[in-house]
Structure 1
């Protein structure tokens, strides 16, 4: 487990790839904050804006919580500074406009049209700062008949057919246990923003990125969606089996379950050799991928019978030695006991407002020259308001007036 609080101080760390960029994060809940936190991990200065009387609701999504902070909030709001501004007041809008003048990116996930009604639409922002890049993340996007509807992760999973395909055959369809549509949208937003920053280097102009949960989740269907579009065949529910590869699924062993993922004929031949049934690899019913798909049920029955006598650990050891892709079916607890997880530094311990030794998951960017890192734990509500306003040139008296008027949160 790596630790950002050890011997290396902030001033000694290698500047991140996005060092020098400022991101104004007006978003809440998951997709937008996730995007902003990843930009922060990459070195950007991220300023999270919350209302003085309506903080990001995930701060209080209990249980589970860490200290007085919801786990959801802690997960996607690291590497940020937090301020409060009331966007429903003229004074608050003026503060945001001042921040836009000094920022490179604005991220928001209001329902479509809200930013315009606040006087902060893209055309207004680009007049303040022609280089500004606005990223809008919504349930359904900025165009189309559903553009003004609110949307959550589960809705996107259900509408795109994912829920109908997910689960065991014969059981009800089920959503993913993680916020998969939010995660996809956050990743697509991050990629779009990096592309927009690069384009700005060439043109000198910012642009408006339009990201939706529905689009992102639909794109994640990849081969399944493309199969339907070109064949008209609706994908059935396969459970832990694969649509086009056999065997590629979970199998029972004498003491648990394992995953065997055979991706080509060579791997299948080596798999059969380990199980002492090499004749299956030359059997015309199973010798190539297409044949194995057509005779899936018969093959799986034979393999399952042989695998039940193996212990999971012995089987995995033999398969790995034979270069057959495989792995255990871990619990989350077992995942974090894996030596490979420790070796890759996936878990990072940070000092944060929620806990002195908060453990978070590192973003897996893998940049060697400009490594990504969690620069700070999730901030307390309004923790950096005064410091950020002072950077804008606001005097202590002006900050006090904003606080008295309720434009920013009380101390």
Structure 2
């Protein structure tokens, strides 16, 4: 494994985040070299350690998938002694990340203002569901709640069906990516000016931002995007079709070049000449008629044959495959080195998704699997200057847990 410097080597992050959006964002920062110290609740640890239905030797699959390249310390932040430990660590940290409900860190005495007093140049990032203030700020929420509120769920589903939750936690992922982006940009700003700052981002704003360009269409037309199943509000043909074998593929004609190529590829140049389908605006106005015609055409051959024909015609199309097939069998996914393996002391070999960015000169490094609860408490406290005696006292008080036998004894 390479140990060459990475873009974020030398930066230390105290990570208070839980569940998905925050932990995935800090995992991305860890992949790029940051030392991410996961500060966990003393007894049960981070919430995602105990949720979900898939466990490997007692380890939550959810936790394993989003906490690599981190170290874990168990710390009781509800105790004054625990707050003092955190602030002592924060004094020399570069970044603090948290995604508790708004106001929680301030009540605990570890919010931005408290940290800034001991570390004026800190970058302090707060992730929330709706925002730190406002009429919804106090309400509980998670990814599907944000999908519902943001408009994502309303535009997802069949035309004659109910709204449908997106299969992946997209608002969580969007917030994770925004967190990694914002922290990186704030660190760059600090390098140039010496100034730290507070960052605030929300799943709601991130989810709405992901609606581009539907936002422009909605604001200018005065109407919300309709539910069209796999179809598209402004491009036709652009949806799922079924081959003779019953399997589906997705076809995307988003330019006139692709439409003409499709008509030639399926040996129906008459469709391109038909005044109902001549332009994309015409096709949108007559989508039902065109889709009915294409359904009849595609019902004549298996999906694999159509995909071969469409590839030779240079028309965008792909089979609709489930995630297991994508991860296990797809040759492009394998070529892209999408999966990495890390060894975990209890879960064994853990496969997980790699960082989806190739840095030519400073590639991501996968140094360690997700930590066991409190695995690095002793080492971390020592690195922050806590003596053996201080660490023993903290453990005796029940403020920390996880000291080595030699120190604890």
Above 0.5 in TM-score? yes
The answer to whether the Cα contact below 8 Å between 2:79 and 2:399 also exists between their aligned partners in 1 is yes
1:250: which partner in 2? 240
Unaligned runs of 5+ in 2: 404-409
The answer to whether the Cα contact below 8 Å between 1:26 and 1:108 also exists between their aligned partners in 2 is yes
Q: For the residues of structure 2 that align with 1:353 and 1:111, how far apart are their CA atoms?
A: 33
Q: For the residues of structure 2 that align with 1:186 and 1:206, how far apart are their CA atoms?
A: 20
1:289: which partner in 2? 280
**Which of these residues, 114, 117, 133, is aligned with residue 107 of structure 2?**
117
Instruction: Write the deviation string for residues 284-320 of structure 1: whole angstroms up to 9, x where unpaired.
Output: 2212211111111111111111111112112111211
Q: For the residues of structure 1 that align with 2:260 and 2:402, how far apart are their CA atoms?
A: 69
1:48, distance to aligned residue in structure 2 (A): 0.2
Instruction: Write the deviation string for residues 119-168 of structure 1: whole angstroms up to 9, x where unpaired.
Output: 11212212211221011011111122222222211111111122222111
Instruction: Write the deviation string for residues 332-372 of structure 1: whole angstroms up to 9, x where unpaired.
Output: 22112011111100011111234221100012012111111
1:12-411 alignment runs, 5 A limit: 12-255=2-245, 256-336=247-327, 337-410=329-402
1:5: which partner in 2? none
1:226, distance to aligned residue in structure 2 (A): 2.6
Q: For the residues of structure 1 that align with 2:14 and 2:343, how far apart are their CA atoms?
A: 23
1:410, distance to aligned residue in structure 2 (A): 4.9
The answer to whether the Cα contact below 8 Å between 2:59 and 2:347 also exists between their aligned partners in 1 is no
Q: Alignment length, in residue pairs?
A: 401
2:407: which partner in 1? none
Q: For the residues of structure 2 that align with 1:373 and 1:286, how far apart are their CA atoms?
A: 51
Q: For the residues of structure 2 that align with 1:16 and 1:316, how far apart are their CA atoms?
A: 41
The answer to whether the Cα contact below 8 Å between 1:245 and 1:289 also exists between their aligned partners in 2 is yes
The answer to whether the Cα contact below 8 Å between 2:12 and 2:94 also exists between their aligned partners in 1 is yes
TM-score by length of 1: 0.95
Could you say what secondary structure the match of 1:163 adopts? coil
Could you say what secondary structure the match of 2:14 adopts? strand
Instruction: Write the deviation string for residues 220-243 of structure 1: whole angstroms up to 9, x where unpaired.
Output: 222223322222112211110011
